[in-house]
Amino acid sequence: MTPNVKGALLMMGSMAAFTVNDTLVKLAGQDLPLFQLIALRGLLATVLVFGLTHRMGALHLRFNRHDRWLVVLRCLAELFGAFLFLSALIHIPLANVSAVLQALPLTVTLGAVVFFGETVGWRRKLAIAFGFLGMLLIVRPGPDGLSLYLIYALLAVLCFTARDLLTRRMSPEVPSMLVTLATSVSITIAAGIASVFQGWSPVTSDAGVLVAASAVFVLMGYLFSVMVMRVGDVGFISPFRYSSLIWALVLGWVVFGDWPDAVTLIGAAIVVGSGLFTLLRARAVHAAD
């Protein structure tokens, strides 16, 4: 098995694990309040991530103050993004939320241009514009205007864009799993505090199994996402992240009986196509340099 093939399989495994986690959270959200759900899942995930981080020897703060502030800001971006994303996930179909998130590579590319002054050619700029047109097809307003939870999904994309841009500014000395652990701890603490005001519901055995399973799949997703950065060519592997939309379509249909309408599917196809072109074009430009 070549490194690129291994990397592609790991990327698809990571996307599958995260999407299964989303499915489990959506199911558990039918019985548990949002903040209680996030706190319980976060507690279990934190224990698992802590064990993995310790095993990898990444439990240290041997990096500069600038990176520490970046970790703090990244945790805040992930915190708000997670709340917005999970709020949307519980109330609208899985595939629709996933389709909105497919714009993330486009928004990160645009953010790198705006905030970091990175150079992007006219082809990628055109692809980003087409991608946002596709996004309009996905989130098009209904008779009563744009759904509140679709707005949440869009805001989650902005938060995750900030998260990824902050991550790109970190030094290589910052362990990826330590960042993951810090994020998990911050989300768990914030959700735990918020859950006190929202209230708790009794945890049934079914809900407990769903929450525990979601924590395991989150860990798998993080583990595979770390492993994928250590093998193969990133330019070859990155497009396989779009496999998450396929998983979301299948699981949304099998588990919840949801299937997006034709316009939403067309919009998702435009977003994915634009993102793929942007990634492949960036790879070609990098190779030429």
Domain residue spans in the chain? Answer: 3-288
CA 249: distance to chain centroid?
16
Q: Which residue has the tokens 């859950």?
A: 195
Distances (CA, A) of 210 to 19, 31, 37, 39: 14, 11, 10, 14
**Residue 142 above 80 pLDDT?**
no
- Average pLDDT over the chain, rounded to an integer: 88
Q: Each residue of 5-39: pLDDT tens digit?
A: 888 898 899 999 999 999 999 999 999 999 999 99
Q: Indicate if the pLDDT at residue 207 is higher than 90.
A: yes
pLDDT greater than 80 at residue 247: yes
For the stretch 87-101, pLDDT in tens is 999 999 999 999 999
- Percent of the chain residues topping a pLDDT of 70: 94
If you count them, how many residues does the chain have?
Answer: 289
Of the given ranges (150-154, 231-235, 252-256, 264-268), which has the lowest mean pLDDT?
A: 231-235
Burial of residue 95, with CB atoms counted within 10 A of its CB: 0-12 exposed, 13-18 middle, 19 or more buried = buried
CA atoms of 83 and 21, how far apart (whole Å):
15
Q: What is the token pair recorded at 60?
A: 């240290």
Do 279 and 102 touch, CB atoms closer than 8 A?
no
pLDDT of the residue at 108: 87
Q: Please name the residues in contact with 238: beta carbons below 8 A apart, sequence gap of 6 or more.
A: 11, 105, 279
